[in-house]
């Protein structure tokens, strides 16, 4: 397993906190808020404690606390104040920063407090669209620039999935489905990124559509047994890294599942963004975003 990153450059701190490196240097010099090490070539390096502190300070500063006041507080006092402010914050940027701090610190308690605070003013649907999706986009950039380790992303996504499973279960318990159509959600073989398909399952249940969720890495040939009980479902898949050849995937879908009649297949994800919808068979529907699909259900 890869080691968790322990040392950060000032550019890493800039990427994570949103504070310009120049400002960080000023805060460091004027208020002595950070204690970086220096390499033999006099380049600043910061440990995890420094990273956590700059994130905490940035969070408080964005919530109206002056840097001069924050600098007088001890590290435990700063951390305590952050949790108190985060618990009552519902602003998008503040919530995203709070979730980033929870990710960096592996702090499930802070994640849940921030999430529960958002629930006081927002539905889960709005939290996902307005907070989680922008947050994931930021996390993707941080991962690509080696600012965070994959273990951070896995921790955060795991907590998001917990909330998705909880909300889906609540909707299923409510019942009252108004549509006779059945939607089967699956990921192709070797595709394990299931957050998107899980959220689609939530959206369908929210709109009172019946679903069967089959999860990641599902062989198409095995789904034909489902047709013995449910002969005409609509299929949905989310293609992030698989399949390697989409044309082969579509051919297999047609060969294995459409022998007794054409079946609708809706596709999402990074792998389909470059496909031309006009060149697809009539039963293949391409969606550039979850929002586009959600609007079609209304």
Give the global pTM: 0.71
Per-residue pLDDT, 87: 61
Evaluate if residue 276 carries a pLDDT over 50.
yes
Phi/psi at 237 (5° precision) = -140, 155
Tell me: the pLDDT tens digits for 212-225?
999 999 999 999 99
- 243 Cβ contact partners less than 8 Å away, ≥ 6 residues apart: 188, 189, 190, 191, 249, 271
Tell me: the pLDDT tens digits for 17-62?
888 888 898 888 888 888 888 877 778 888 888 888 888 888 888 8
Per-residue pLDDT, 11: 87
Percent of the chain with pLDDT over 70: 93
Tell me: the pLDDT tens digits for 155-181?
999 999 999 999 999 999 887 777 678
CA 169 to centroid of chain Cα atoms: 20
SS (H, E, C) the chain: CCCCCCCECHHHHHHHHCCCHHHHHHHHHHHCCCCCEECCCCCEEECHHHHHHHHHHHHHHHCCCCHHHHCCCCHHHHHHHHHHHHHHCCCHHHHHHHHHHHHHHCCHHHHHHHHHHHHCCCCHHHHHHHHHHHHHHHHHHHHHCCCCCHHHHHHHHHHHHHHHHHHHHHHHHHCCCCCCCEEEEECCCCCCCCHHHHHHHHHHHHCCCEEEEEECCCCHHHHHHHHHCCCCCEEEEECCCCCCCHHHHHHHHHHHHCCCCCCCEEEECHHHCCCCHHHCCCCEEECCCHHHHHHHHC
Per-residue pLDDT, 85: 75
Per-residue pLDDT, 147: 67
Per-residue pLDDT, 223: 93
Q: Could you tell me the two tokens for 109?
A: 């308690």
Band of residue 127 on the pLDDT scale cut at 50, 70, 90? very high
Q: Could you tell me the two tokens for 39?
A: 């390499």
Evaluate if residue 2 carries a pLDDT over 60.
no
CB contact at 8 A, 273 and 234? no
Band of residue 1 on the pLDDT scale cut at 50, 70, 90? very low
Q: Could you tell me the two tokens for 229?
A: 């009980």
Per-residue pLDDT, 8: 85
Q: Average pLDDT of 118-127?
A: 91
Tell me: the pLDDT tens digits for 284-295?
999 988 878 877
Question: Average pLDDT over the chain, rounded to whole?
Answer: 86
More confident position, 102 or 64 = 102
More confident position, 5 or 259 = 259
Per-residue pLDDT, 271: 87
Tell me: the pLDDT tens digits for 202-253?
999 998 999 999 999 999 999 999 999 998 899 999 998 888 889 899 999 9
Evaluate if residue 92 carries a pLDDT over 70.
yes
């Amino acid at each position: 397993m890869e080691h968790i990153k322990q040392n950060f450059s000032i550019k890493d701190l800039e990427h994570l906190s949103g504070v310009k490196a120049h400002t960080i240097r000023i805060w460091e010099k004027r208020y002595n808020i950070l204690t970086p090490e220096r390499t033999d070539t006099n380049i600043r390096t910061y440990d995890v404690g420094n990273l956590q502190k700059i994130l905490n300070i940035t969070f408080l500063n964005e919530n109206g606390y002056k840097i001069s006041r924050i600098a007088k507080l001890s590290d435990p006092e700063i951390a305590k104040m952050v949790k108190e402010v985060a618990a009552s914050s519902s602003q998008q940027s503040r919530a995203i920063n709070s979730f980033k701090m929870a990710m960096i610190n592996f702090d499930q308690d802070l994640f849940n407090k921030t999430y529960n605070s958002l629930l006081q003013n927002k539905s889960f649907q709005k939290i996902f669209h307005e907070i989680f999706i922008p947050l994931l986009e930021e996390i993707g950039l941080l991962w690509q620039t080696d600012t965070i380790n994959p273990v951070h992303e896995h921790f955060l996504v795991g907590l998001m999935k917990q909330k998705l499973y909880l909300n889906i279960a609540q909707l299923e318990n409510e019942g009252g489905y108004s549509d006779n159509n059945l939607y089967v959600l699956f990921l192709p073989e070797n595709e394990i990124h299931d957050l998107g398909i899980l959220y689609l399952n939530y959206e369908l249940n929210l709109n009172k559509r019946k679903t069967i969720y089959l999860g990641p890495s599902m062989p198409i040939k095995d789904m034909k047994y489902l047709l013995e009980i449910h002969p005409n479902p609509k299929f949905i898949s989310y293609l992030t890294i698989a399949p390697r050849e989409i044309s082969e995937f579509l051919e297999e879908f047609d060969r294995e599942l459409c022998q007794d009649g054409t079946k609708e297949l809706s596709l999402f994800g990074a792998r389909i963004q470059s496909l031309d919808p006009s060149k697809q068979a009539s039963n293949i529907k391409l969606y550039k975003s979850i929002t586009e699909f959600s609007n079609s259900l209304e």
